[in-house]
Amino acid sequence: MHQSDFAQEEPSRLRVLLQRVVGIALSTVAAQALTGLVFVVAARNLSPGEFGVTAVLISIGAISAVFLDGGLNLSHVKEISAGARSVGKSQDLNRAKRPMVLAAACVEGFVLFLLQFPWPLILVFVLQLWFLWESQSANALLRAKELFRRSAVGQIAGRLAGLVSTLIFGSLLFRAEYLLVALAIGYLTEAILDRVLLPRDCKKTKVEPTSLRALASTHRASLSYGMTSLSASTQQLDTPMVAAGAGAVEAGVYAAAGRLIGPLNFAGAALAMVALPWLSREQSDEDRRHLEERRVVRLAVFLALLPLAAGAVGYLALPYILGAEYAGSGATFSVLACGAAVSTLNQAPATALQARGRQRVVAFSVAIGLSVGVLGTLAFAYLGGAVLAAFALLVSQTLILFALALQLRASRARER
């Protein structure tokens, strides 16, 4: 098809892409807003020091879930969208992996016990980690089939269950472990509902049971996806780094602002969810692929404006929402919002490169940038507390943007 023919159909194609991104964005922001309310309730019932310790455990759990996934979920989305793997096979791979996830969660709990964390926190940490992995694995299958509305229903229902649980616990004598319990309830709800929402034909698919050798082979193939996800999740290390550099109180202030950044990442997350299967289908025609990539870039620029606007509002509003003990959270939130805007821009070149089969390049670029960010968080926290530590995110995301943009430009030049 000639380039002019693509241009003629651009409005309708762009409209479809925009509708999908906006639909996912709205559902994601609703889910993240509910999660934000969970942390607001917890922060108002716990001191910054108590909240900081719990936030460190939550960050460790989030990183662990991505590490245990090992890129399998992104592999499901890519391979199912391209027709190279069935949903039934993906489900069987997840089932084969479940005992390993449980064992790893228990090992992490034992390590926390050796580090003298309270045993109630350790118990609920293990459950939260397991249920988080289950919810992410189940939701990935819906996204792979491009059932974004069902995916959104599962996410929002899970977050709502977590918020209701937090409000119930908050009306009682709130303790730190109750926040982890509430999150675990939310993840379990999402995991169950996502499996219920899978189409019947996907549930009835019969495949040969996956052997450990086949699982290992699949994981080797998805390693580059795992590196990308794991590198991105290292941002969860920001709260432990602030705690190490500036103490538990500053970590609590940073975590209160950082956890509310979740809704600001909705735009980038929605774009990534839609763009990867969207671009993965356009591999046979170079002109078509370039056109679709340009559409994704334009959407990324537009969506990046939303975190900037929210950051301006949050600077004034956040200290009043969280209370006087979190006075520094407003400035911290605004700087993190700028980082979230750059992170949204990153999704356009990242998904374009992944769809081109250059996921290793994405993984390397993201790993280098976020390694700088993690070390910068520790150094900046030592020098200036939570507010200065937030600049590390902005620096790392800017480095990633330049690296991905250069790699995409080089990839296009090689294909001419």
Residue-level pLDDT at 107: 92
Distance CA 416, CA 283 (A): 14
> Of 392 and 28, which is predicted with more confidence?
392
Among 73-77, 96-100, 235-239, 393-397, name the one with the lowest average pLDDT. 235-239
Nearest C-alpha neighbor of 250 from the set 260, 264, 263, 238: 238
Handedness of CA 111, 116, 121, 123 (dihedral sign): positive
Residue 14: left if φ>0, alpha if ψ -120 to 50, beta else—which one? alpha
Residue-level pLDDT at 1: 46
Per-residue pLDDT band at 8 (split at 50, 70, 90)? very low
pLDDT in tens, 314-373: 888 877 777 777 777 888 889 999 998 998 898 888 888 887 777 778 878 887 888 888
**pLDDT beyond 70 at 154:** yes
> Which residue matches tokens 């969208």?
81
> Of 42 and 350, which is predicted with more confidence?
350
Question: What is the residue-averaged pLDDT of the chain?
Answer: 78
Q: Maximum CA pair distance of the chain?
A: 67
Query: What is the percent of the chain where pLDDT is above 90?
Result: 6
Cα–Cα–Cα angle for 282, 416, 292, rounded to 5 degrees: 30
Distance CA 385, CA 257 (A): 13
Nearest C-alpha neighbor of 266 from the set 102, 399, 152: 152
Nearest C-alpha neighbor of 37 from the set 210, 163, 147, 207: 163
> Of 399 and 222, which is predicted with more confidence?
399
Nearest C-alpha neighbor of 68 from the set 104, 112, 18, 110: 104
Nearest C-alpha neighbor of 254 from the set 381, 120, 95: 381
Q: How many CB atoms lie within 10 A of CB 398?
A: 18
Per-residue pLDDT band at 402 (split at 50, 70, 90)? very high
**pLDDT beyond 60 at 132:** yes
Per-residue pLDDT band at 26 (split at 50, 70, 90)? low
Q: Exposure of 173 by Cβ count < 10 A (0-12 exposed, 13-18 middle, 19+ buried)?
A: exposed
Residue-level pLDDT at 361: 83
HSE-up (13 A, CA, CB side) for residue 34: 22
Q: What's the average model confidence in pLDDT over 175-179?
A: 72
Residue-level pLDDT at 75: 78
Distance CA 410, CA 416 (A): 10
Phi, psi of 90, rounded to the nearest 5 degrees: -65, -40
Among 48-62, 103-117, 214-228, 331-345, name the one with the lowest average pLDDT. 214-228
Handedness of CA 398, 404, 406, 412 (dihedral sign): negative
Per-residue pLDDT band at 15 (split at 50, 70, 90)? low
Q: What's the average model confidence in pLDDT over 379-389?
A: 89
pLDDT in tens, 245-282: 888 778 778 877 877 676 677 667 777 777 777 676 65
**pLDDT beyond 60 at 206:** no
**pLDDT beyond 50 at 205:** yes
**pLDDT beyond 80 at 233:** no
Q: Exposure of 212 by Cβ count < 10 A (0-12 exposed, 13-18 middle, 19+ buried)?
A: exposed
